[in-house]
């Protein structure tokens, strides 16, 4: 209701421009008993049902930073809604309002979890299933130098290469999908991975289809050979590292800026002056703590 209070709600603006696409990105959505309640990623994740699936056996559910609801279920879904509305407008000539709720967005993002319930993938309690740290062949393992390797050898042909790389004999092990043997197999795999460094394991598993890769830190990710060849990370003019925009379009690829990120309030005065505010008005906004400015030139 904030935009309505300002007289800038969708009904008002769409009357003035029927082609307008008006995106409303919220946590709980425009309606419902939580619509006006405060919340954060973890709350939206909880209400969507997804949080109940995240976490290890005998531990509390955990939210993986704030990527799922805020960015994937919220920002990306909202952006997709805008693109869909633009595509539809090319045929109808009319705009529309997008209600992008992070709860609904992340719930829809989790459609795979819902649609695969009867496939046996999620038949066990949290942390005991194929993709949630239950399987020994879909897990992370600590190496002798305190780093980690990620294992995702789901298919039998990949699992065979994992077992070979670990120096084990497939004929002497339980069947890959023997659920009751998974806990012991995880202990066996963990003890073997702990005997070599991350680099040593990379030398064994690189160029194989065992689906075993290093867990790279932010400090190491840009120097990894694969990421270097793909130019996956870029540095700005201050030497700060960040991911290159993705996905890459063949004809109109993104041209990333190599300038540093602006400081908070760095351009506030410049922009307000450009929009017709006087220095006295800007100074008043600053003194009222309505804005932040860096090196304010206006007389206080």
Task: Tally Cβ neighbours within 10 Å of residue 102.
Answer: 31
CA distance linking residue 260 with residue 277, whole number of Å: 27
Question: Taking CA 37 as the corner, what is the angle to CA 34 and CA 42, rounded to the nearest 5 degrees?
Answer: 85
Cβ atoms 129, 123 nearer than 8 A:
yes
CA distance linking residue 120 with residue 59, whole number of Å: 22
Q: Is 40 a catalytic residue?
A: yes
> DSSP per residue over 164-193, as a string?
HHTT--GGGS--TT-GGGHHHHHHHHHHHH
Question: Taking CA 25 as the corner, what is the angle to CA 292 and CA 257, rounded to the nearest 5 degrees?
Answer: 55
Closest alpha carbon to 51 in 38, 35, 30, 67: 67
Q: Is 70 a catalytic residue?
A: yes
Task: Give the active site residue among 41, 70, 132, 240.
Answer: 70
Task: Tally Cβ neighbours within 10 Å of residue 231.
Answer: 10
CA distance linking residue 207 with residue 286, whole number of Å: 58
Task: Give the active site residue among 40, 209, 220, 226.
Answer: 40
Residues labelled catalytic: 40, 70
């Amino acid at each position: 209701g904030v935009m309505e209070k300002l007289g800038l709600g969708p009904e008002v603006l769409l009357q003035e421009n029927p082609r307008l696409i008006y995106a409303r990105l919220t946590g709980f959505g425009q309606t419902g008993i939580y619509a006006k309640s405060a919340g954060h990623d973890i709350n939206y994740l909880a209400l969507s049902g997804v949080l109940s699936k995240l976490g290890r056996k005998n531990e509390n559910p955990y939210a993986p930073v704030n990527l799922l609801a805020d960015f994937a279920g919220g920002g990306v879904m909202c952006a997709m809604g805008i693109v869909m509305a633009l595509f539809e407008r090319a045929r109808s000539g009319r705009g529309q309002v997008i209600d992008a709720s992070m709860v609904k967005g992340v719930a829809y993002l989790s459609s795979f979890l819902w649609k695969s319930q009867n496939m046996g993938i999620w038949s066990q309690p949290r942390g005991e299933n194929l993709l949630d740290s239950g399987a020994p062949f879909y897990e992370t393992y600590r190496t002798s130098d305190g780093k980690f390797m990620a294992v995702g050898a789901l298919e039998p042909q990949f699992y065979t290469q994992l077992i070979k790389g670990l120096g084990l004999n497939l004929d002497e092990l339980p069947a890959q999908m023997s659920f009751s043997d998974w806990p012991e197999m995880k202990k066996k795999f963990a003890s073997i991975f702990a005997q070599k460094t991350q680099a040593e394991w990379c030398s064994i598993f690189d160029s194989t289809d065992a689906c075993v890769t290093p867990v790279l830190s932010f400090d190491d990710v840009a120097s990894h050979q694969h990421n270097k060849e793909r130019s996956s990370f870029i540095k700005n003019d201050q030497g700060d590292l960040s991911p290159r925009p993705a996905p890459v379009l063949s004809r109109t690829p993104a041209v990333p800026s190599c300038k540093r990120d602006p400081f908070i309030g760095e351009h506030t005065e410049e922009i307000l002056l450009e929009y017709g505010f006087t220095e006295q008005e800007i100074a008043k906004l600053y003194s009222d703590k309505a804005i932040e400015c860096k090196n304010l030139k206006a007389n206080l």
